[in-house]
Amino acid sequence: MLTNPSALLVRNLEQVENQSVMLLNIEADGLGQSLTQSCAKVAALALDFNHFQAQPSNQSGFRCEFGYQWSKDEKFDVVVVYFPKAKALAPYLFAMAAWHLREGGTLLITGENKGGIKSVDKLLGNAFSGTSKIDNARHCLLYSATLLQETNKPNPEDWVSRYQLSLPGGDIQICNMVGVFSDKQLDQGTALLLENLPQLEGRVLDFGCGAGVIAMALMQKNPELQLECVDINAMALLSCELSLKANGMKAKVYASDGLSQTQGLFDAIVSNPPFHDGLSSTTDIATRFVVDSYQQLVKGGHWQIVANRHLPYSDTIARVFGEVNTLAENNKYKVYTNKKH
pLDDT in tens, 316-340: 999 999 999 999 999 999 999 999 9
Residue type, 39: C
pLDDT top residue among 274 and 173: 173
Q: Using pLDDT thresholds of 50, 70 and 90, give the confidence band for residue 275.
A: low
| Percentage of the chain lying above the pLDDT 70 cut | 96
For 271, counting Cβ atoms within 10 Å of its Cβ (0-12 exposed, 13-18 middle, 19+ buried), the class is: buried
Could you tell me where the beta strands, DSSP code E, fall in the chain? 20-24, 41-46, 62-66, 76-82, 101-112, 132-137, 140-146, 160-167, 170-177, 203-207, 226-231, 252-255, 266-271, 276-277, 280-281, 297-308, 326-329, 333-339
Identify whether the C-beta of residue 64 lies closer than 8 Å to the C-beta of residue 26.
yes
Q: What percent of the chain has pLDDT over 90?
A: 84
How many whole angstroms separate alpha carbon 316 and alpha carbon 165? 33
pLDDT the model gives residue 311: 83
Worst-scoring range by mean pLDDT, 138-142, 180-184, 222-226, 235-239?
A: 180-184
Q: Is the dihedral of CA 142, 146, 151, 153 positive or negative?
A: positive
Region 256-266: mean pLDDT is 95
Read off the pLDDT of each residue in 274-288 and give the average, rounded to a whole number: 63
CATH topology of domain 157-339: Rossmann fold (3.40.50)
Is the predicted pLDDT of residue 154 greater than 60, yes or no? yes
Would the pLDDT of 276 be above 60? no
Question: Quick check: pTM over 0.85?
Answer: yes
Taking residues 250-260, report their average pLDDT. Answer: 95
Is the pLDDT reported for residue 261 higher than 50? yes
Check if the beta carbon of residue 116 is closer than 8 Å to that of residue 82.
no
The tens digit of pLDDT for each residue in 63-102 reads: 999 999 999 999 999 999 999 999 999 999 999 999 999 9
Contacts of 248 (CB under 8 A, 6+ apart): none
Please, is 30 exposed, middle or buried when counting C-beta atoms within 10 Å of its C-beta (0-12, 13-18, 19+)?
middle
pLDDT in tens, 172-223: 999 999 999 766 678 899 999 999 999 999 999 999 999 999 999 999 999 9
Angle, in degrees to the nearest 10, between helices 213-221 and 234-246: 30
Residues of the chain with CATH 3.40.50.150: 4-153, 157-339
Q: What band does 281 get if pLDDT is binned at 50, 70 and 90?
A: very low
Q: 315 Cβ partners below 8 Å, 6+ apart?
A: none
Examine the pLDDT at 150 and tell me if it is beyond 90.
no
- Comparing 86-90, 196-200, 259-263, 309-313, which segment has the lowest mean pLDDT? 309-313
pLDDT band at 56 (very low <50, low <70, confident <90, very high): confident
Mapping DSSP to helix (H, G, I), strand (E, B) and coil, where does residue 192 land?
Answer: helix
Mean pLDDT of the chain: 93
Q: Alpha helix (H) ranges present in the chain?
A: 4-11, 31-35, 49-53, 90-100, 120-123, 188-194, 213-221, 234-246, 284-295, 313-321
Whole-number Å distance between alpha carbons of 242 and 189: 22
In contact, 178 and 95? CB cutoff 8 Å = no
| Residues, the chain | 341
Judge contact between 239 and 211, C-beta under 8 A. yes
CATH superfamily of 4-153: Vaccinia Virus protein VP39 (3.40.50.150)
DSSP 8-state secondary structure symbol assigned to residue 115: G
